[in-house]
A and B are shown apart, each in its own frame.
Chain A
Amino acid sequence: MRPKRAPFFTTLGGGGEGGLHTTGAKWFMIESQRHSYHLVDPSPWPISGSLGALATTVGGVMYMHPFQGGATLLSLGLIFILYTMFVWWRDVLRESTLEGHHTKAVQLGPRYGSILFIVSEVMFLFAFFWASSHSSLAPTVEIGGIWPPKGIGVLDPREIPFLNTPILPSSGAAVTWAHHAILAGKEKRAVYALVATVSLALVSTGFQGMEYYQAPSTISDSIYGSTFFSATGFHGFHVIIGTLFLIICGIRQYLGHLTKEHHVGFEAAAWYWHFVDVVRLFPFVSIYWWGGI
């Protein structure tokens, strides 16, 4: 019996377990393939991504050395990579949500992949925080043996950083709210929760942008500037990526792609968001608070 659905969602194919997820065609395919894995159709996106990466790296090197056309090649490469990401992931969504290839066994791949990717991101940011600690815990004689170095204007941790510190975790709580709504099958509420999550994230990014704009020191100002702005800058970049991921989840939820049993993409976004959240706490304490006094 077809489950009752809110009027603004669409369903494809027959009703059954989850509208979009089980078309008649899928059952035929699964019956004929005799294994629960997904043999992907040939795709041009891996090679196009590689070409984009080649263009980006070569263009980047050309840009940083005195060669003509470096900036153009670099931008083209980056655009190409972004385009490849868009179409590749669009294909994944088509294969999973619309064609139904993602059985439980197949879902393990993206799950473990997301976790391992997040671990690699943790390692990346750990390197920058190590650099920050290395420079600040035992400041060298060349900068006077003191931290922050003489003459560097530091940001007051009690102002914008302190304001942002509750905003991001609230956003994390909102994404958990969204997750519970999805698990309970409350689809409209999940959309609202995701809207709340993304709004809080955008507000905090806006504040951070304002703070950067009127900061008294820059990335070129001694080792303090280098470590401060590279650590906080990369963290900010990850916040922006996480926000984009959550926006896409919000759109998918609105279109009815996610069901209470099957929402790996949303879980990956939520894990990524929590990682971004937790990582923010460490720099606040060590870089903003401890590093400024």
Chain B
Amino acid sequence: MAEIELKTAPADFRFPTTNQTRHCFTRYIEYHKCLNAKGEDASECQKFARYYRSLCPMEWVEKWNEQRENGTFPGPL
């Protein structure tokens, strides 16, 4: 059977605390900023996508995606 490689988001010195909320939010923002800058489906952006998907609860991600669609997302995209 092939080895399954398990990885998660690397420890980021910008967020040394136990509460990683801001880390999750920052990765989400970085992913979308990357998409806006490099265009959809850029492969460089997938790194950020994997990070935020490891860190963030899916409820938050769904809520933020909905806010982005409505135009009410408060973050700096």
Interface residues in A165-203 (C-beta closer than 8 Å to B): none
From residue B71, how far is it (CB to closest CB) to chain A in Å? 10
Closest residue of chain B to A138, judged by CB? Answer: B22
**Is B16 among interface residues, defined by CB-CB distance under 8 A?**
no
Q: Convert B22-66 into 0s and 1s, putting 1 for each residue whose CB lies closer than 8 angstroms to a CB of A.
A: 100110010000000000000000000000000000000000000
Tell me which residues across on chain B come within 8 A of A149, comparing CB atoms.
74
Cα distance A149–B25 when bound, in Å? 16
Tell me which residues across on chain A come within 8 A of B76, comparing CB atoms.
144-146, 150
Cα distance A143–B76 when bound, in Å? 10
Which of B26, B29, B74 meets A142, CB within 8 Å? Answer: B74
Cα distance A144–B75 when bound, in Å? 4
Number of interface residues of B (CB under 8 A): 9
Closest residue of chain B to A151, judged by CB? Answer: B74
Tell me which residues across on chain A come within 8 A of B74, comparing CB atoms.
142-144, 146, 149-151
Closest residue of chain B to A150, judged by CB? Answer: B74
From residue B36, how far is it (CB to closest CB) to chain A in Å? 16
A141, A142, A150 — most chain B CB neighbours (10 Å): A141
**B22 contacts A144, C-beta separation under 8 Å:** no
Cα distance A182–B46 when bound, in Å? 76
**A141 contacts B73, C-beta separation under 8 Å:** no
Tell me which residues across on chain A come within 8 A of B75, comparing CB atoms.
144-146, 150
Tell me which residues across on chain B come within 8 A of A144, comparing CB atoms.
73-76
Tell me which residues across on chain B come within 8 A of A145, comparing CB atoms.
22, 25-26, 29, 75-76
> What is B's interface to A at a CB cutoff of 8 Å?
21-22, 25-26, 29, 73-76
Give 15 A-B pairs besides A143-B74, A145-B22, A146-B75 with Cβ atoms closer than 8 angstroms: A141-B21, A141-B22, A141-B25, A142-B74, A144-B73, A144-B74, A144-B76, A145-B26, A145-B29, A145-B75, A145-B76, A146-B76, A150-B74, A150-B75, A150-B76
> What is A's interface to B at a CB cutoff of 8 Å?
141-146, 149-151
Q: Identify 11 residue pairs between A and B in the complex whose beta-carbon atoms are under 8 Å apart, listed by A's number.
A: A142-B74, A144-B73, A144-B74, A144-B76, A145-B22, A145-B25, A145-B26, A146-B74, A150-B74, A150-B75, A151-B74
